[in-house]
Structure 1
Amino acid sequence: MSNRITRIQAEGLRSLRDLVPKPRLTVLLDPEGEATRDLVTLFTLLRDLAHGRLQQSQVLDAVDGPVTLVLGVDDYDYTVALHRFPDGRWRVVQEELSLLAGISLPFVEPDSPRDEALLSTLPTGPTVRMDDTEAAWLGEIADRASRAMNGFLRGFRIQPAESFDANIPFIFLEERDVDLPANAVWDRVQSARAASSRIPVLLCTPSLALAGAFDLEDVLRA
């Protein structure tokens, strides 16, 4: 699994709707910071779900309506929908993993919401080996995909753009300064480019100078 993010979609957050990242390095120019906050919410919530910590998560405290998130990684799309119930608890009402081959794996039965995502019960690790039947082969593919997605989501954390650890599946960098000195811009660009040669990098910044120092094809505007 190369951990290439192919799709980010959100419904129910403030400003984020659809984002198609670049293959290795994506620089999001976000002058108001609203899309950055939504991306932080999205990835933090997905990480909490992968750890089985929905009921302890605080990122939905400011959200009222239902939330649906879609994250595409390599050939897999992970979709999860959350509703707040009358008792005040958020629950998973839809959860599925879609594979490029057209196979969709629903994890939640209709009208049977879960307190935690099923993905959290499929930890990272070796794929379970099965027999040679077609059903077992599909089950093995599903197990491999679920474990890979779980590992990807568990590895997420927000890091400052000036100093970060690259020993994770995906780097989310946040640059909060608008006015950066030229040497800082140079350092940020070189560090992000070097890291993106090995793993996907998403850098969010309000700085026109920093975004302008990257190649134009790497930059998206919120």
Structure 2
Amino acid sequence: MLEVRDLTKSFDGFVAVSRVSFDVPKHSVSAIIGPNGAGKTTLFNLITGHLRCDTGRVVLNGRDVTGVPPHDLCRMGVGRSFQRTNIFAKLTVYENVQAAFVSHRGRGWNAFTPVRDLYRDETLRLLESLRLADRAGEVAGFLSHGAQKQLELGLALALEPDILLLDEPTAGMSASETRETIQLIDRLARERGLTLLFTEHDMEVVFSIAQKITVLHQGRVIADGSPAAVRADGGHVGAPHDDW
């Protein structure tokens, strides 16, 4: 579904991503791992059009989308969440998800429908699947960090992506929040037939759901394959959490 070919990006002479190539099969759950500074977030920014690459290509469903702006990629079915929570802190949980639906679908035939009722059923169904329905009326900024990250996932899903890129979806979470979030992501990916690509420092998380793993080090791919193959390679996993 997604093909990355020889992507390279430099900043003032520093090569952050160097000739990176890998594939993300359709309906797969794939992970990108590596120590801090390996180039994971830069790579995500290149794939999603937030940065322009120096050389290389990004191909989505056979179409070259290199350098396509994020809003156009969104229309083509590419969704993304970020390391830092990106929600509307002053709106309620319900209003956050509803706003995402309106942004994606527009008002359409609902021109005369009161704003509060737009996409009500879709919003409630998605909140139910996120297990946030009982918190629909709460102000998003007062949610726990874990709940905010789950809400951000909901905003991404409201855009109805075919492929979803998650940048460290469990960063800053407690152990219990991490387990709950990973189970949620895995379930939603299967239920919705999503293709999922995520970065993560927690190797337990990676090996619990990833079907394919790409390892970056100093901007280069040093391993790419099944979890069993990457684990057998030895030196790429098991580093202290603070370093990864």
User: TM class, shorter-chain normalised?
Assistant: 0.3 to 0.5
Structure with more of its chain in helix, by fraction:
2
TM-score of the pair, normalised by structure 2: 0.44
TM-score of the pair, normalised by structure 1: 0.48
